[in-house]
């Protein structure tokens, strides 16, 4: 009983499946044909537009050439021939396709002009924005620099105050220690400190003298080199002058001509 039901279901479904597949195939074929027709129409339209564009470009070139010829004839006072050329150029320009081409070209020129103007304004706006950003960045950096300087000055001042306080503390501590010692020790200590300062001052003077002597020696060497260079240049000028005088002397002396003895 079940087998008979399955057979009956298969008998019913198979024709339906075949019909559905045939319909889908026919629909795909119709779609492909429609797409092919649409593609063909697009290609034909593009070819027509390209052909029309070439014709209009050829007319434009011809109009320009005729107009130049008319201008030349007009400049040569050949007004009748110039008039004929101008009329011919006008007739070519009055062609409906040419009018449309010229209108589209004019619209394209206007569009390009507007785009160029927009691009120019955008560039100016970008430049202004970049200048404003640079100015703001510079102002920010200047403010940061001032803050850094103020911070460094504050830190330097605090360090100086701390050093001065430490020196004062050491001085008071030293004075307190000296008060506890005898007068002789005070004198001895003061003498030791004075000798130490004198030695440091002497070393400083000697060091400065050595540096001064070194600078003087360097200057003497430099002056000696300059004098030597000046002497060499002077000798070169003298030699050049002597050579010039010798040449002038030779030019002033008449050339000696040996007489030819007659045979």
Q: What are the tokens at 231?
A: 């002497």
Asked whether residue 127 falls in the same domain as residue 82, the answer is no
How far is the CA of 203 from the CAs of 86, 194, 195, 216, 243, in angstroms?
A: 105, 14, 12, 20, 59
8-13-18 Cα angle (round to 5): 135
For residue 104, what pLDDT band results from cuts at 50, 70 and 90? confident
Asked whether residue 49 falls in the same domain as residue 66, the answer is yes
Note whether residue 39 is domain-resident. Answer: yes
Confidence (pLDDT) at 9: 54
Domain ranges, residue 176: 118-180
Q: What is the percent of the chain with per-residue pLDDT over 90, rounded to a whole number? A: 8
Note whether residue 111 is domain-resident. Answer: no
Asked whether residue 188 falls in the same domain as residue 164, the answer is no
Q: CA torsion angle for 98, 102, 104, 108 (degrees, to 10)?
A: 150
Determine the average pLDDT of the residues in 85-95. 83
Note whether residue 249 is domain-resident. Answer: no
Q: pTM surpassing 0.75?
A: no
Confidence (pLDDT) at 3: 56
Q: Is 189 exposed, middle or buried (0-12, 13-18, 19+ CB in 10 A)?
A: middle
Note whether residue 65 is domain-resident. Answer: yes
185 vs 59, higher pLDDT = 59
Note whether residue 11 is domain-resident. Answer: no
Q: Is the dihedral of CA 105, 108, 114, 117 positive or negative?
A: negative
Note whether residue 247 is domain-resident. Answer: no
pLDDT in tens, 185-204: 767 778 888 898 888 888 89
Candidate from 44-53, 59-68, 106-115, 220-229 with smallest mean pLDDT: 106-115
Residue 251 scores a pLDDT above 70: yes
| Residues present in the chain in total | 263
Q: Is the dihedral of CA 136, 138, 139, 140 positive or negative?
A: positive
C-beta of residue 57 within 8 angstroms of C-beta of residue 38: no
For residue 42, what pLDDT band results from cuts at 50, 70 and 90? confident
Determine the average pLDDT of the residues in 7-25. 59
Asked whether residue 193 falls in the same domain as residue 137, the answer is no
Contact residues for 73 (Cβ-Cβ < 8 A; gap 6+): 79, 81, 82, 85
C-beta of residue 95 within 8 angstroms of C-beta of residue 101: no
Confidence (pLDDT) at 144: 92
Per the structure, the count of domains in the chain is 3
186 vs 31, higher pLDDT = 31
Distance CA 257, CA 247 (A): 20
Note whether residue 130 is domain-resident. Answer: yes
Asked whether residue 203 falls in the same domain as residue 169, the answer is no
Residue 83 scores a pLDDT above 80: yes
12 vs 135, higher pLDDT = 135
Last residue of a domain, one of 37, 61, 94: 94
CB atoms closer than 10 angstroms to residue 78: 14
Distance CA 32, CA 39 (A): 10
Distance CA 148, CA 11 (A): 96
Determine the average pLDDT of the residues in 22-33. 69
Place of tokens 């010039």: 244
Asked whether residue 150 falls in the same domain as residue 200, the answer is no
Confidence (pLDDT) at 263: 41
Asked whether residue 32 falls in the same domain as residue 75, the answer is yes
């Amino acid at each position: 009983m079940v087998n008979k039901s399955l057979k009956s279901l298969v008998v019913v479904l198979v024709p339906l499946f075949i019909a559905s597949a045939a319909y889908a195939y026919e629909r795909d074929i119709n779609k492909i044909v429609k797409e092919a027709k649409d593609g063909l129409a697009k290609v034909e339209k593009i070819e027509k537009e390209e052909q029309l564009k070439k014709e209009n470009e050829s007319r434009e070139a011809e109009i320009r050439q005729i107009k130049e010829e008319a201008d030349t004839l007009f400049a040569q006072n050949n007004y009748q021939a110039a008039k004929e050329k101008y009329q011919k150029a006008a007739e070519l320009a009055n062609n409906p396709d040419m009018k449309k081409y010229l209108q589209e070209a004019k619209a394209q020129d206007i569009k390009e002009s507007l785009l160029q103007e927009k691009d120019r304004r955008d560039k100016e706006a970008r430049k202004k924005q970049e200048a404003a950003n640079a100015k703001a960045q510079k102002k920010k950096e200047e403010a940061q620099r001032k803050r850094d300087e103020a911070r460094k000055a504050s830190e330097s001042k605090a360090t100086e105050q701390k050093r001065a306080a430490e020196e004062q503390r050491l001085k008071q501590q030293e004075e307190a220690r000296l008060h506890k010692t005898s007068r002789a020790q005070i004198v001895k200590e003061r003498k030791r400190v004075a000798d130490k300062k004198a030695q440091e001052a002497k070393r400083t003077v000697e060091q400065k003298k050595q540096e001064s002597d070194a600078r003087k020696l360097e200057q003497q060497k430099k002056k000696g080199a300059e004098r030597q260079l000046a002497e060499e240049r002077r000798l070169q000028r003298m030699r050049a002058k002597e050579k010039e005088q010798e040449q002038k002397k030779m030019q002033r002396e008449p050339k000696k001509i040996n007489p030819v003895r007659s045979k």
